[in-house]
Amino acid sequence: MTPRTPSILVINGPNLNLLGTREPAVYGTATLDDVVRLAEDTARDLGCTASSTQSNHEGRIIDAIHAARSTSDGIVINAGAFTHTSIAIRDALAAVGLPVVEVHISNVHRREEFRHSSYISGVADAVIVGAGIDGYRLAVDHLARRLTAAAGTDAASFPKS
Ligand code: CA2
């Protein structure tokens, strides 16, 4: 049987639709479209697919996490400011039980105290902060390698001819 292509869902939270339009000193000049493309390209290069969603609404993010249970094999999430406030998003991630990588574009630990704590980190398999939008590439790369290894679809799992 041909193994199914592993699929990764990238979730971006509030205000990340503004990427590239304001605060370039903190968040850089790349746009959300650039992030979406970067995730798609990284996943494709590793034999996976990546789809992306962004919402400014906590409930919509929770709905997207629930839907991922039947559509995705792993989640990359930048929950924006909900990172520091939302037990509900943490509970949704824990309930769905998919591998999770948490990403923050800025180094939250070098910023205000209220950004130092995350409700997501305790249910994430990996956390990437301060690498700019390259953090999404690192996150998708990590998940893709993990998922293809688990599915036996990575190049390394095939016998060399
Ligand atoms: O560094 C990150 O990725 C953050 O998740 C971004 C959130 C912030 O609340 C977190 O503490 C850290 C804010 C996203 C706001 O994005 C903007 C992008 C461009 C212009 C204005 C806001």
**CATH number, domain at 23?**
3.40.50.9100
CB 100 within 8 A of CB 77: yes
27 is catalytic: yes
Q: How remote is the CA of residue 73 from the centroid of ligand 1, in Å?
A: 26
- Whether 73 is covered by a domain: the verdict is yes
**Whole-number pLDDT of residue 158:** 46
Residues flanking ligand 1, CB < 6 Å: 15-16, 18-19, 22-23, 27, 78, 80-81, 83, 104-106, 108, 115
User: Is 1 within the bounds of a domain?
Assistant: no
CA dihedral (78, 6, 142, 125) positive or negative: positive
**Which domain covers residue 66, as residue numbers?**
7-157
Residue 104 annotated among the catalytic residues of the structure? yes
Q: How far is the CA of 143 from the centre of ligand 1 (A)?
A: 22
Q: Which pTM does this prediction carry?
A: 0.94
The 3-state DSSP class for residue 154 equals: coil
Alpha-carbon separation of residue 98 from 31, 54, 95 (angstroms): 27, 19, 9
> What's the number of CA atoms in the CB half-sphere (13 Å) around residue 24?
5
pLDDT at 161: 39
Residue 2, domain member (yes or no): no
Which residues, given as ranges, of the chain have pLDDT below 70? Answer: 1-2, 154-161
The per-residue pLDDT for 153 is: 72
- Determine the pLDDT at residue 4: 84
Q: Which residue has the tokens 């509030």?
A: 14
- Distances, alpha carbon 40 to alpha carbons 22, 57, 138, 141, 142, in Å: 24, 24, 12, 11, 14
How many domains, in total, are found in the chain? 1
